[in-house]
Every structure is written in C-alpha cells, then in structure tokens.
Structure 1
Amino acid sequence: MTEAAILSARGLTKEFKGFVAVNNVDLDVRRGSIHALIGPNGAGKTTCFNLLTKFLQPTSGAITYNGRDITGLSSADIARLGLVRSFQISAVFPNLTVLENVRIALQRRRGDSYDFWRSETVLREYDDEARSHIADVGLTAFTDERAGELSYGRKRALEIATTLALNPEMLLLDEPMAGMTQEDVERISALIRRIATNRTILMVEHNLSVVANLSDHITVLARGEVLAQGDYATVSKDPKVIDAYIGAGHG
C-alpha cells in the first residue's frame, strides 16, 4: 500500500465458473481524493466495485483499508470501519419523510435498532443532526415531504444524506448520476464536491463529463484488467483507452 492510500487492492481477481471478470487488478485510492473507476460496458467495473465493498469475495488478491487487511471481512464489517457504500438504485423508505429517513440512519450508526415504535420524544434527540445532514445535501425545503414524492435526483441526494449520517471516512458511490437530468447531474456533482472536502470518494460512473469535472484520479478497466490510470487529461489521451471505448461503441 502506498503511504497516501486509504484503500488499496493487490492482485484482485474474481472468477465466475471459469470466466475471469476481474483479473489481477492493482488499485490505490489516495486519502482525500475523488477517484473514479470507469470503462466500457463489460469492463468489470461493477464486479471490481462489489469486491472492494465486500459484496463479493475475491477469488484471489488482497484489499487493505487504512493499513488493515479487510479481504475476509463482510460489507457490514467494513461499514463499521468507516467505508460505506451508497447504492446505484435509490435506497430510501418511500413512505417516511426525509427527516425520518435520515433519523433512521442516525439510529443505526449509534447502535440502536430500527425502533419505529419508539416515543417521539426519544426520536427527536436525532432531529438536529438529521436536519444538519439534510441541509448539507440541499433538501431543507423538503424535510417533511415523503421520500417517495421526491424527484429522482432529490431521492439520490437523500440517499447520500442517509449515507453521511453513518459518518463514513470513505464513501463509495455506484453510478451516482445514472438516470438523472442535466439539472440533477449538476446538483449532485456540486454535492459530491462539497462532501469530498473532508472524506475520500471512490465512484463508478458512466458519465465521462462528470468524471472529467470531479475526479482527481481515474482507473480505467477493460476486460477485467487495469488499462490506464492517472488524471483525466492523461487517460483521455491514452490510445488504449480511446480504442477500448470506440471498440465498445462508446464515444
């Protein structure tokens, strides 16, 4: 692991019944950076992301976080260490308000069970902190709205607020801009830049303009292997990267 890396992988490999989806990937995510994992369809991005977030176990290789080997740990274990994943499909309780959704995340962080029947007085202890997270993602005006009635982009913002309530040191975002309007993309991009000021972010993202605008460092995968690494100016000019995207039907 390099000295500045918070999350590292060495020789990360995943086979599915003889098919090698991720092959001998080495990766270092620098502390305090926004690191993007990109590549054409079928490149192995999602599998690699699932390995790093421990939703899959690698066939071989090792993953370290803050200098600790987390290869054998579960996703719940690494979340407790401060490595938290936000999901591609918005994961909120649609019939609860924005405030109630964030409050549940705060209960979880503090080790309380999901006690929906707890007294309102007890639950109000979480309100100030919940409102602070809601303000951080620009949803103050929607605090008392049901989550199910929010626009898609605002649901994603709420999801990030519930993730922030877990107080992660590192946030892993799975295609945060998928299915968004341009207005939502701009709003969530600004949000990611803001929350990255005091934490590390690793994201899988298809939108290359978002990657160009947000990322400090990029790892490009193709056919399960690392094709190129560096900043956007470097990787976007790499002939191997251009060939991989054009060959896969992507501009």
Structure 2
Amino acid sequence: MPVLSARGLTKRFGGFTATDGVNLDVAQGTIHALIGPNGAGKSTLFALLTKFHTPTAGQILLDGEDITRLSPPEIVRRGMVRSFQISAVFPHLTLLENVRVALQRRVGLDRQFWRPASALSRLDGQAMELLDQVGLADHAHSLASAMSYGRKRTLEIATTLALDPRVMLLDEPMAGMGREDVVLIESLIRRVARGRTVLMVEHNLGVVETLADRVTVLARGAVLAEGSFAEIRANAEVRRSYMGSDHG
C-alpha cells in the first residue's frame, strides 16, 4: 500500500484548472520526483497534499487513511511535513535557535508561552544532533542571516527533520543554487531519506536522475507520464511536451 496517494485531485481557481484529476501513489521509503514545465501544477499539487489549498474535488490518503478534510497542523501531526521554494528560516535567530523552535512544536512547548527562554535549553542537545546530522553543527551559534543560500536551505531541512516526519515534501530544494550547493543538498537529501519517504518537486533533471526512484511528469495540471527516470526520458510524449524534442 502506498504511504501517500491522491485520487482524482482537482483544484480550480475560478475558471482556471490548476490540477485536473491527478492520481498519484508514493511508495514507502522511496524518493519520488514531480517534474514538468512551469505552470504544470506541481506546487499546487504540493499545497493540496499538505492542505494549504482545499481540493475542489478528489481524495488524499496517508497510510490508507482519508486526510482530505484535515488541516495543515493535523497533517504535520500525522508525520507529513513540507518545505517551500523560498527558504523559510528565522534570519535573526541562530541556527541552533531555529532548530529549537521546530523542536518546541514536537515536544509540546510551542503553546507554553509563559515558560522562560531558559526552559528551552533542554532542547539544545537534540537541536545540536540535528545540526550535526546535516553538517551545520560548527555554525550552531551563527545567525541564519549570515549563512549562504545553500546553508539556509540545509537549515530548513534540519528544521523539517525536527518535526520527525515520516513523509517529507520538498518543493524545489535546488532552486537558485550553484553547482557546489546542489551537490551538498543532493547528498543531504539522499542521507535524510533513509527510513523516510520523500516527494520532491525539482527542475534539475540531473538531480532527478541521481536521486529519484520514481518520477511523475505533470503537464497542464494532469499526469502526463510516470515511471523510472529512464522510462520518462524515453517517453516521446514527455520529450515533446516537456523536454522540447522528439529525439535523444
């Protein structure tokens, strides 16, 4: 049974159909990539799966349970967490403090606003372990604003891991990166995916080829093709619609 599924998932904004009857199955313990041209509906699909948008029609299943009507916080509590295209970190907090904020939610301290800041120090050990896991332990006490773009994205993955997800949705994790940062994040995703399921939107086909166990191609809001990267690359319809060629 897939860990995450969509059935006939449709989203209309007025007269515009952003996703049109999308069916998707993401297998447990795999890295599954969504690709497609700009405007294909990839980010909308992400927002639907994590309930930042409400579907016009269709169903979302997590571990076989219908989660279509749940709120984003309820989705997180069930172990599915997403990142965003734009790095979402607190720039004027240190890396350690950023991860600690995410840990507060996991251990139930996020609503205990009356506690002094010193009460959060018991989370420092876990926060340091997460920063070490993503290679940022040496920068724990540096401000996030002082970090390179690649390290900010790495920090965002650390804060995602702090929520202990079983399913991670990564929205264009390589966007805006140079080659050196791409290699860094690529290696990190491979490492953190062990024991987890990852669904990622990614435009860099080299990264998709390297990381993805399975690939779904969207075009005009609908599924155009699905398979291994080799199968997708060999698909003539995909080459015409997405890669712009009938050859190679």
Looking at structure 1, the residues matched to 8 and 52 of structure 2 have their Cα atoms a distance apart, in angstroms, of 18
Aligned match for 2:4, one of 7, 31, 34: 7
1:124-169 CA distances to partner (integer Å, 9 max, x unpaired)? Answer: 2101110000011110111110011000000000011011001011
Residue in structure 2 matched with residue 197 of structure 1 by the alignment: 194
**What is the Cα deviation at residue 120 of structure 1?**
5.1
1:210 matched to 2:207:
yes
Specify whether residues 216 and 167 from structure 1 end up closer, same or farther in structure 2 by C-alpha distance, changes over 3 A only.
same
Residue in structure 2 matched with residue 40 of structure 1 by the alignment: 37
Once the two structures are superposed, the pairs formed by residues 8-157 of structure 1 within 5 Å of their partners are 8-113=5-110, 118-119=115-116, 121-157=118-154
After the TM superposition, which segments of 4 or more aligned residues of structure 1 sit over 4 Å from their partners? Answer: 114-118
TM (norm. structure 2) is: 0.95
Looking at structure 2, the residues matched to 93 and 47 of structure 1 have their Cα atoms a distance apart, in angstroms, of 25
Q: Which moved more, 1:13-22 or 1:150-159?
A: 13-22
1:198-223 CA distances to partner (integer Å, 9 max, x unpaired)? Answer: 11000111111111100000000011
Looking at structure 2, the residues matched to 246 and 104 of structure 1 have their Cα atoms a distance apart, in angstroms, of 41
Looking at structure 1, the residues matched to 116 and 130 of structure 2 have their Cα atoms a distance apart, in angstroms, of 22
Aligned match for 2:225, one of 224, 228, 233: 228
1:157-204 CA distances to partner (integer Å, 9 max, x unpaired)? Answer: 001101100101110001000001111000000000000001100011
Structure 1 spans left out of the alignment, 5+ residues:
none
Between the aligned residues of both structures, percent identity stands at: 59
Cα RMSD of the aligned pairs, angstroms, is 1.6
**2:24 corresponds to which letter in structure 1?**
L
Structure 2 spans left out of the alignment, 5+ residues:
none
**2:177 corresponds to which letter in structure 1?**
M
Aligned match for 2:169, one of 172, 175, 178: 172
1:160 matched to 2:157:
yes
Residue in structure 2 matched with residue 241 of structure 1 by the alignment: 238
Paired positions, count: 246
**2:68 corresponds to which letter in structure 1?**
T
Looking at structure 2, the residues matched to 115 and 185 of structure 1 have their Cα atoms a distance apart, in angstroms, of 38
**1:190 corresponds to which letter in structure 2?**
S
TM (norm. structure 1) is: 0.94
**What is the Cα deviation at residue 119 of structure 1?**
3.8
**What is the Cα deviation at residue 47 of structure 1?**
1.1
Specify whether residues 120 and 48 from structure 1 end up closer, same or farther in structure 2 by C-alpha distance, changes over 3 A only.
closer
Q: Contact 1:104 / 1:114 at 8 angstroms: preserved in 2?
A: no
**2:11 corresponds to which letter in structure 1?**
K
**What is the Cα deviation at residue 113 of structure 1?**
2.2
SS in 2 for 1:193: helix
1:85-140 CA distances to partner (integer Å, 9 max, x unpaired)? Answer: 11111111111111111111111111112678844542221011100000111101
1:36-61 CA distances to partner (integer Å, 9 max, x unpaired)? Answer: 01101111111111111111111111
**1:71 corresponds to which letter in structure 2?**
T
**2:41 corresponds to which letter in structure 1?**
G
